[in-house]
Amino acid sequence: MMTNVADNRAGVPMESQDEVLVDREDGVLVITINRPHARNSVTRSASEGIARALDELDVDRDLTVGIITGAGGNFCAGMDLKAFAARGEDPSLPGRGFVGLTEALPRKPLIAAVEGYALAGGCEVVLACDLVVAGQGAKLGIPEVKRGLTAAAGGLHRLPERIPRNVAMELALTGDMMTAERAYQLGLVNEVTEDGQALIAAKALAARIGGNGPLAIVASKRVIVDYPTWSTAEIWERQREITDVINASADAKEGARAFAEKRPPRWQGR
C-alpha cells in the first residue's frame, strides 16, 4: 500500500507530507520522491522524509531491499535551486548528506529505478545506490559546474569509481549528460528497460535478491562496500569478521537443508 511517509511519524510539517511516498510490499520498500512539478528536485523536508524511510528500511526485519524512484517520469533533478536561491535552503542533512543517503549508506541493498532526468544531486543519489535500473530515455549527469557549483554529494569521487576516470572527468568538467544506454555500456546501469518500466524491472530485481538469506545479503553488501578501505594485509581477517558469523548461522544451516530436501528455504534472519 502506498502511504505518506509522515503518516506514522511525528514532527513532519504538513506541507511536506506528500513530497515522499512509501510503498511496502513483499519485503521491498519503495521510496518515491513526489515533486513531479519540479522534476523531483529535493527540498530539506523531502530529504528528511527520505532519511526516515531509509531508517525504516534498515531497522524493519520484514524488509530486505529498498528501491528509490521519482514520480511523474523523472528521477530527481537534484536540489531545489529556487529554494536555494530564495532562502539558502540546504537539502543535505548533517552526517547523512543529500536526501539522508549520500554520506550514510543503508545496510540493506538499495536500487535506483530511474526514468527521465537524474541530474546533479539526483545522479549522486543514483551513485549511492547499489544497483541501477533505467528507462531507455533516462539521462544522467552532474551539471553543477554549469551553475558555478560542484558535485559535492559524492559525484566527484563515486563517478570515477564506477566508470572510467577520463569519462568521469569529462562529465564533471563539461556538465554534459549521458544516456542510459551509455551508462549501461560503462557499467553504471545494471539494466535498461523500455521507458516507464524501470520500477517494474527494479521490483523484479528486488524479488531476486529478497529470496536469499537476509543476513547473507547484508553481509555481502558490507564486504563489497568496505573492502576498498582495507589493507592487503588485513583483507581476509576483516572479511572473516563479517562472514564467519553468517556462515555459522541458523540461516546457513537452513539453506543447506533446503537444498538437500529440494524445497525453498525458510529464513529466520538468525
- Residue 222: its H or E element: helix 214-226
Residue 266 in any domain: the answer is no
Instruction: Give the whole-angstrom CA distance, residue 62 versus residue 84.
Output: 37
pTM of the model: 0.90
Q: Tell me what the pLDDT averaged over the chain comes to.
A: 91
Strand ranges inside 19-165, DSSP E: 20-25, 28-33, 65-70, 92-93, 97-98, 110-114, 117-119, 131-135, 139-141
Catalytic residue among 124, 191, 234, 261: 124
Catalytic residue among 89, 144, 170, 181: 144
Are residues 154 and 253 located together in one domain of the fold? no
Predicted confidence at residue 269, as pLDDT, reads 86
Q: How many domains does the chain have?
A: 2
Residue 67: CATH number of its domain: 3.90.226.10
- Residue 2: its H or E element: strand 2-4
What average pLDDT does the segment 213-238 reach?
95
Residue 269 in any domain: the answer is no
For residue 135, pLDDT beyond 90: yes
Are residues 44 and 112 located together in one domain of the fold? yes
Structure confidence at residue 218 as a pLDDT band (50, 70, 90): very high
Residue 188 in any domain: the answer is yes
Residue 29 in any domain: the answer is yes
Predicted confidence at residue 90, as pLDDT, reads 80
Residue 139 in any domain: the answer is yes
Structure confidence at residue 86 as a pLDDT band (50, 70, 90): low
What average pLDDT does the segment 192-207 reach?
98
Query: For residues 215 and 242, is the Cβ–Cβ distance under 8 A?
Result: no
How does pLDDT run across 138-166, given as a tens digit for each residue?
Answer: 999 999 999 898 999 999 999 999 999 99
Instruction: Give the whole-angstrom CA distance, residue 192 versus residue 26.
Output: 24
In the residue annotation, 25 being an active-site residue is answered as no
Are residues 224 and 196 located together in one domain of the fold? no
Structure-model confidence comparison of residues 173 and 90, the more confident one: 173
Are residues 219 and 186 located together in one domain of the fold? no
How does pLDDT run across 27-80, given as a tens digit for each residue?
Answer: 999 999 999 999 999 998 999 999 999 999 999 999 999 999 999 999 999 888
Domain that holds residue 254: 214-261
Structure confidence at residue 1 as a pLDDT band (50, 70, 90): very low
**CB under 8 Å to 243, separation ≥6 — which residues?**
219, 223
Residue 267 in any domain: the answer is no
In the residue annotation, 124 being an active-site residue is answered as yes
Predicted confidence at residue 5, as pLDDT, reads 47
Q: What is the DSSP string of 136-173?
A: TT-EEE-GGGGGT---TTTHHHHHHHHS-HHHHHHHHH
Are residues 52 and 137 located together in one domain of the fold? yes
Residue 255 in any domain: the answer is yes
Query: For residues 194 and 136, is the Cβ–Cβ distance under 8 A?
Result: yes
Predicted confidence at residue 11, as pLDDT, reads 36
Are residues 231 and 141 located together in one domain of the fold? no
Geometric angle at alpha carbon 28, from 47 and 73, rounded to 5°:
55
Are residues 224 and 202 located together in one domain of the fold? no
The residue among 218, 194, 104 whose CA lies nearest residue 153 is 104
Predicted confidence at residue 215, as pLDDT, reads 95
Are residues 111 and 218 located together in one domain of the fold? no
Are residues 202 and 226 located together in one domain of the fold? no
Are residues 193 and 227 located together in one domain of the fold? no
Are residues 10 and 88 located together in one domain of the fold? yes
